[in-house]
Amino acid sequence: MDFKYVVFSLPFLAILISGFVMVLFQQYDMNPKDGVFMHATTAEMLRMPMFFFSGVINLITFLYTGILIYRAKLSKMEGLINITPQPNWVMMLSKLFAILKVQFLLLALVMITGIIVQTYNGFYRFEITHYLFELFILQFMHFSIWACLAIFIHSLFDNMYLSFFV
């Protein structure tokens, strides 16, 4: 439910589309007119987009973690959620899994964009295992640590704006 709330929200869709277009245009003209020709290898497709898009993923992680944690308080449903028979860690774990799934979706967007740019540039030697290892093992581990930190920070403070600042 939390994942659907994040993915179908208009700000997330706007960030997702703008990130896709940003990575697409950034990689689209990777060969200058008067420079050395570079092949659109998988390493090149992963190097530059992750440099720019990792900040966007971290921003989305911290923003939507705070929104999910304070969602019950903002909708005045906190009392009803507090009397449910589940322990608090179940609710926090569901929010963490929602954020991790969002990060996984954004990393899949980077992979799809890289494959599209490689196809457009005429480089058909896709290294899918390189994409999967780099994005979904190394980078996902990095972003999951940030998601845990975001959950910790937002649960530490009772004020939403203070936790965003911290």
**More confident of the two residues 164 and 147:** 147
User: Residue 80's pLDDT is what?
Assistant: 77
Give the per-residue pLDDT at 43: 74
Q: How far, in Å, CA of 57 to CA of 103, rounded?
A: 7
35-52 per-residue burial string, b: 16 or more CB within 10 A, e: under 16 = eeeeebbbebbbeebbee
Q: What is the mean pLDDT of residues 77-103?
A: 86
Mean pLDDT taken over the chain:
84
Task: Provide mean pLDDT across the span 51-75.
Answer: 85
| pLDDT at residue 133 in the model | 92
Report whether pLDDT(16) > 70: yes
Longest dimension (CA), the chain: 67
pLDDT for 149 equals 94
Quick check: 135 pLDDT over 70?
yes
